[in-house]
Copies of this chain bind each other. A is one copy, B any other.
């Protein structure tokens, strides 16, 4: 099988490395737009060959779109003429909007996937050969795909060591909001709270594990995350509102010195870790 990867940043580059590590592809083709990315991809030896979209469609059995979610939508028209036997797949963090926008010509070929993994880093240099190992990938609305494409997608994720979860794309977006999009909005807000203080440097001199963990994802790419917030707008607004209820709660309990109630509320939060 030949695999083509569009976008060789953190997600695409790591996929290329994993595919190479496990000897899954005969040949790995890559497509990148910027000259800077192309140079880095070649230096890192991420793919066997960088090609244009035309060659990608000719050579590959599986084409993976590892690009920001809005770019996934805008690039789709270029893939309307793929072969029946070519699988095309995206790795975007939102799924419902993408699924709704898959052109009917390639609906059967198109696998909507979301590997629940990543780091705050981006670009080819951020890629790691073990990013996917032991992590979960969500495959959405597979009943719209033919067996060939479905099985090919399942096999590749199994081969790189992932746990597979099947889910409706709408439900996926609700869950991904709580597990990833809302936490990003919160982390960006916390980082901005500190950066807008009159003296962020001496405050951050005291940073320990708690703040480091809570602000790590505030380093994530604004372009990528603006697109995600846009595509999962409704769920994110709902998520923020529910989170805000709890922020108001804790503020009120502290303000009113209701410490027993506060401890009880914290205990409820502790129960998360019976699951996680």
Most B C-beta atoms less than 10 A away, residue of A116, A179, A182, A203: A179
Instruction: List residues of chain B with CB within 8 A of the CB of A214.
Output: 183, 186-187, 213-214, 217
Cα distance, A246 to B208, chains bound together (Å) = 22
Contact of A222 among B255, B266, B273 (CB under 8 A): B266
> Which of A19-27, A39-47, A101-109, A232-240 is the interface stretch?
A232-240
- Chain A 260-276, CB-CB to B under 8 Å as 1, else 0, gives 00111111111111011
| Residue A37 lies at the interface, judged by CB distance under 8 Å to chain B | no
Which residues of A from 209 to 252 have beta carbons under 8 Å from B? 209-220, 222-223, 225-226, 229-230, 233, 236-237, 239-247, 249-251
A190 touches B182 (CB 8 A): yes
A178/B211 contact (C-beta < 8 A), A183-B190, A251-B240, A265-B188 known:
yes
How many residues of A are in contact with the other chain, CB < 8 A?
90
25 A-B residue pairs with CB within 8 Å: A116-B206, A117-B208, A119-B209, A136-B208, A175-B206, A178-B197, A178-B211, A179-B204, A179-B211, A183-B210, A183-B211, A185-B250, A186-B190, A192-B249, A192-B265, A193-B245, A212-B276, A218-B273, A219-B270, A219-B273, A222-B264, A225-B266, A226-B263, A237-B255, A240-B250
A residues with CB within 8 A of B: 116-119, 135-136, 138, 165, 174-176, 178-180, 182-197, 200-220, 222-223, 225-226, 229-230, 233, 236-237, 239-247, 249-251, 254-255, 257, 259, 262-273, 275-276
